A and B are shown apart, each in its own frame.
Chain A
């Protein structure tokens, strides 16, 4: 049962092979038994999950079930869930139970999904390893000494460990795609504005985007069908028709034009990953695609640009965590300033503080032009590079990460080397483009991912391409040893 995809589970529920309560109970039991090894959940919502499963079974029995009714999923712990702790991986919000549901959470509820719990993550989504979580690092099911990636590391680990068939994630600089790659699952970062950000605790507002993480492209399509769409509560969410992403999965790929950016195959890339990606590209050629080399000359600049813009926005977004209205407040504050300083000083972890300081600095009156404005200029150039290349090819393919999962603690004292892990993913967020990570093999027993980048709102095309790849390969079916 735990190897089944969402699509297969949905079919089983419809046929009556098992009930949602049985399915849900099985996953809850499995989480209880196994998650001690992975630390992928921060909160398990057993009672609520069983109630939702019961309601789903009733609706299946009554014949008014939808495609998602009764399917269990988990939410990254930055999606606000009514009445349930929403910690964002931080001590700051350890005591915070949201009084409302994020739009994404509400949509899954409405679709009849069952929420198993909330998954671990880097504190406030700041990190590429899940090590900055207040609840401790989540572990990679392929090797529990290794990181699952981040910031949606808990979602990646939970899906890879078969503790949930699918989970939501959010991606600000690679936070869906990188853990998907490192955990051997499939993840999609949609076009900026495709999925509502309302109720998804902001890290960097102009870059954040929620998306699905699952075993297959088909499952991601099922999830995106639920998640995507206009939300009047989010001014940056676009009012644009949502196609049925499952309807075009089987379009043939003959004539597909693939671009391989030469900058993505530089010395920084593990040569074994380069090989796996090139082998995957060869599969597409067999399916009728043509391949050419393209250039994204400002790829390297995406790191400095990102690490100005994201911290700048974060420094402002995280100002609301002041100990006044909710969240952590220090004990016995002497006065207002003391309350601010100690609540924030004690409530935030090191990486969050680092980014708040960097962002605050970058926005200071004397430095604004040199940093923030310059970074925005670079951002526009990076976007123009993509637009230019995507006039020439249908999709861009390359590695998701330069290396497979690294060991827990390995990069703790070297934040810049950690930031370099996001070199291939960051630029999409800067450009607002959609991208997927699809398993394309293993290196030294650890999974690696191939990234597929498309034009704005080309999610259906990306899912179609990934699905076709998964019809002729079995990388996505591999499970960690012992699972």
Chain B
């Protein structure tokens, strides 16, 4: 039987406010446990929440970016359940009246599938703390630094039909929130976390299959792998005559499997009700329009401009505009070297390779955009070849410094002096009697391919510094002269 996969995502985005959503404590990541939890975050008796307007502004920015209705009246509710890292015994969140209503984003997978994914709504809520199970000798440590960090939870409709689409959607949300500057986008630190609702149904069937929810996935790669694994499990199960049970499952990336966490029967009755400590949030058109005026260029618009202004391919434009820091970096490089395509090749090629290998965010790249631009200028003005440029880049990455400093210090300047090149070419030809004979014996139209050997010898002799164009010309001229 042919199966269709149905996926909906709930994405939690930590907003990059400096203080928490209902208290004045800092939201900075990585502090000593419980040093960024104030009386309100600890839920001391008598404490009360006060809503951080910055979180509201950021949520509205997101809503506008996904073309959503903005809730002019939104209401915080309490979601009641007991957990040690939930200090109040309830999470303050939004349910019936969220800040962001229905919207949508357009996605495209790398194999060219385009789809509009509808957003059901997005709501503001507070993050919980963390339970630490290691190093406490059978006890659990509670770190409440994260408690009260503002989140926007973005709930999609079940509009995605493959794991690739799900990953593309998550990337698009990531691109939007980082472009808006409302989230640092650091998935490893949990700034963006994803719950995937997955079900399968026979192709053509309208009714949805029973879904499972995969919790807390924090990388795009894992989204794809977790969904693929779960889809295979569900299909196997059904084809073996079994039934999918509605439940929450956990994806284990080490074993590449999903495991049951809790079933629907264990589900809490959260007893939602409007939080009496917080007033309904009322905003008007002028508030919304003032925020609209501050929106930066969004990923879709930037992509279109990259195609239009820089002549990039759709694919390159899509990749480069997908992450604000990368898009900013790219534009700086392009400007510095006045060659948009060369800049695109390097940012997506050599730079991306190094960032990946060293697991480094582009914002922390040891080679900044201006420095990379400076390197590309030296390719364009023939000071160095593309191959030497890679060597220079490697040194810039590992040791720092500008391209010019490294070219100078390492003596990598390209040799363009034809006299010097001619002398080396002569030496190479004199020492390669066998290859020269083969060249002479070859059909004239095959000789071009045989230049490679000589070229390599010349480059070896010059340490790669000879201008490849000049070498080719001289080699051809001298070898062809021997053939006459």
Q: Which residues of A contact B (CB under 8 A)?
A: 78-80, 86, 88, 93, 96, 98-100, 102, 197-202, 204-206, 232-236, 312-313, 315-316, 318-322, 324-326, 336, 340, 360, 363-365, 368, 372
Contact = CB atoms under 8 A, between A and B. Distances in A.
Main secondary structure, interface of A, reads loop
A200 B46 CA distance: 5
A363 B80 CA distance: 10
Majority secondary structure of chain B interface residues (helix, strand, loop or mixed): loop
B266 to A, nearest CB: 13
A321 B82 CA distance: 10
B273 interface: yes
B102 interface: no
B269 A364 contact: yes
A88 B45 contact: yes
B50 A320 contact: no
Interface stretch (B86-94, B420-428, B474-482): B86-94
Interface stretch (B36-44, B59-67, B157-165, B314-322): B36-44
Given A322-B82, A322-B89, A316 B271 contact: yes
A235 B49 contact: yes
Closest 5 CB pairs of A and B: A319-B89, A363-B271, A205-B276, A206-B276, A199-B46
Given A80-B46, A197-B48, A201-B45, A319 B90 contact: yes
Interface residues of B, number: 29
Contacts of B269: 364-365
Contacts of B82: 319, 322, 340
A316 B80 contact: yes
28 contacts: A78-B46, A86-B45, A93-B45, A100-B44, A198-B48, A199-B47, A200-B46, A202-B46, A202-B48, A232-B50, A234-B48, A235-B50, A235-B51, A236-B276, A236-B277, A312-B273, A315-B271, A316-B89, A316-B273, A320-B88, A322-B89, A324-B142, A325-B42, A326-B42, A326-B44, A363-B80, A365-B269, A368-B273
A360 B270 CA distance: 10
Interface string B55-85: 0000000000000000000000010101010
Given A93-B45, A235-B49, A319-B82, 15 more contacts: A86-B46, A88-B45, A204-B276, A233-B50, A234-B48, A235-B278, A313-B276, A318-B89, A320-B88, A320-B89, A321-B45, A324-B84, A324-B87, A364-B271, A365-B271
Nearest to B80: A316
B279 interface: yes
A363 B78 CA distance: 11
A198 B39 CA distance: 11
Contact of B87 (A93, A102, A201, A320): A320
A313 B273 CA distance: 9
Interface in B262-306: 269, 271-273, 276-279
A218 B134 CA distance: 61
B45 A235 contact: no
Contacts of A80: 44-46
